[in-house]
Amino acid sequence: MSEKKATRVGYGEELAALGFENDKIVALDADLSCSTMTQYFAKAHPDRFFNSGIAEANMITMAAGLSSMGYIPFCSTFAVFASRCFEQIRNGVCYPNLNVKIAFSHAGITVGEDGATHQAIEDIALMRVLPGMTILCPCDAEEAKRAVRAAAAINGPVYLRLARLATPVFSEGMPFEVGKANILRKGERAALITCGLMVESCMKAAEILAAKGIEVTVVNMHTIKPLDEEIVKTLAKDMKIFTVEEHSTIGGLGDAVAAVIAEHGGRLTKLGMPDCFGQSASPAELLDFYGLSPEKIAATVENGI
Amino acid sequence: MEIQALKSQCTVIRRDIVSMLTMAGSGHPGGSLSAVEILAALYGYKMNVDPTKPDMPERDRFVLSKGHAAPALYAVLANNGFFSKEEYNGLRKLGGMLQGHPDRNKCPGVDASTGSLGHGVSVAVGMALGAKTMGGKQHIYTLLGDGESQEGMVWEALMASAHYKLDNLTVIFDWNGLQIDGPNDEVMSLGDFPAKLRAFGLDLIEVMDGNDIEQVIAALDVPACPGKPRCILCHTTKGKGVSFMENQAGWHGKAPNKEQGAAALKELEG
pLDDT tens-place string over residues B179-204: 999 999 999 999 999 999 999 999 99
Residue B204 confidence (pLDDT): 98
**Residue B86, C-beta contacts closer than 8 angstroms, at least 6 positions apart:** none
Would the CB atoms of B126 and A55 count as touching at under 8 Å? no
Q: What are phi and psi of B27, to 5 degrees?
A: 135, -170
Would the CB atoms of B123 and A97 count as touching at under 8 Å? no
Closest CA to A167 of A1, A9, A5: A5
CB-nearest partner of B153 from A47, A57, A95 = A57
Residue B223: C-alpha distances to residues A259, B130, B220 (Å): 59, 21, 8
Report the alpha-carbon distance of residue A92 to residue B63 in Å, rounded.
Answer: 12
Residue B1 confidence (pLDDT): 83
What does the pLDDT average to over B20-30? 97
Would the CB atoms of A92 and B152 count as touching at under 8 Å? no
CA A19 to chain centre: 22
Q: Helix axis angle, B152-163 relative to A56-68, nearest 10°?
A: 60
In the sheet that holds B203-207, the strands lie side by side as B61-64, B140-145, B169-175, B230-235, B203-207
pTM surpassing 0.90?
yes
Q: Centre a 10 Å sphere on the Cβ of residue A1 and count the other Cβ atoms it contains.
A: 7
Report the alpha-carbon distance of residue A84 to residue B24 in Å, rounded.
Answer: 35
Residue B270 confidence (pLDDT): 63
pLDDT tens string B135-172: 999 999 999 999 999 999 999 999 999 999 999 999 99
Chain A (48-87) residues lying within 8 Å, Cβ to Cβ, of chain B: 48, 50, 52-53, 55, 57-58, 61-71, 73, 87
Domains and CATH numbers, chain B: 3-267 (3.40.50.970)
ipTM at complex level: 0.95
pLDDT tens string A69-127: 999 999 999 999 999 999 999 999 999 999 999 999 999 999 999 999 999 999 999 99
Residue B269 confidence (pLDDT): 86
Closest CA to A225 of A269, A184, A181, A190: A181
**Residue A270, C-beta contacts closer than 8 angstroms, at least 6 positions apart:** A242, A243, A249, A254, A255, A257, A258
What does the pLDDT average to over B209-223? 98
- Asked if residues B80 and B39 have their Cβ atoms less than 8 Å apart, the reply is no
Under the banding of pLDDT at 50, 70 and 90, the label for residue A2 is low
pLDDT tens string A207-248: 999 999 999 999 999 999 999 999 999 999 999 999 999 999
Report the alpha-carbon distance of residue A44 to residue A38 in Å, rounded.
Answer: 10
Q: State which H helix or E strand residue B205 sits in.
A: strand B203-207
* Angle value at C-alpha A53, between A161 and A60, nearest 5 degrees: 50
Q: Dihedral sign, CA of B25, B30, B35, B36?
A: positive
Name residue B171's beta-bridge partners. B142, B231
Q: Which residues of A are catalytic?
A: 56
Residue A205 forms contact with B (CB below 8 Å): no
In this model, does residue A1 exceed pLDDT 80? no
pLDDT tens string B93-109: 999 999 999 999 999 99
Contacting residues of A for B125, CB less than 8 Å apart: 58, 62, 65
Report the alpha-carbon distance of residue B111 to residue B118 in Å, rounded.
Answer: 16
The mean pLDDT value of chain B amounts to 97
Domains and CATH numbers, chain A: 5-167 (3.40.50.970), 182-304 (3.40.50.920)
Report the alpha-carbon distance of residue A62 to residue A57 in Å, rounded.
Answer: 9
Contacting residues of B for A19, CB less than 8 Å apart: none
Residue A3 confidence (pLDDT): 85
Would the CB atoms of B157 and A58 count as touching at under 8 Å? yes
In this model, does residue B243 exceed pLDDT 80? yes
Residue A97 forms contact with B (CB below 8 Å): yes
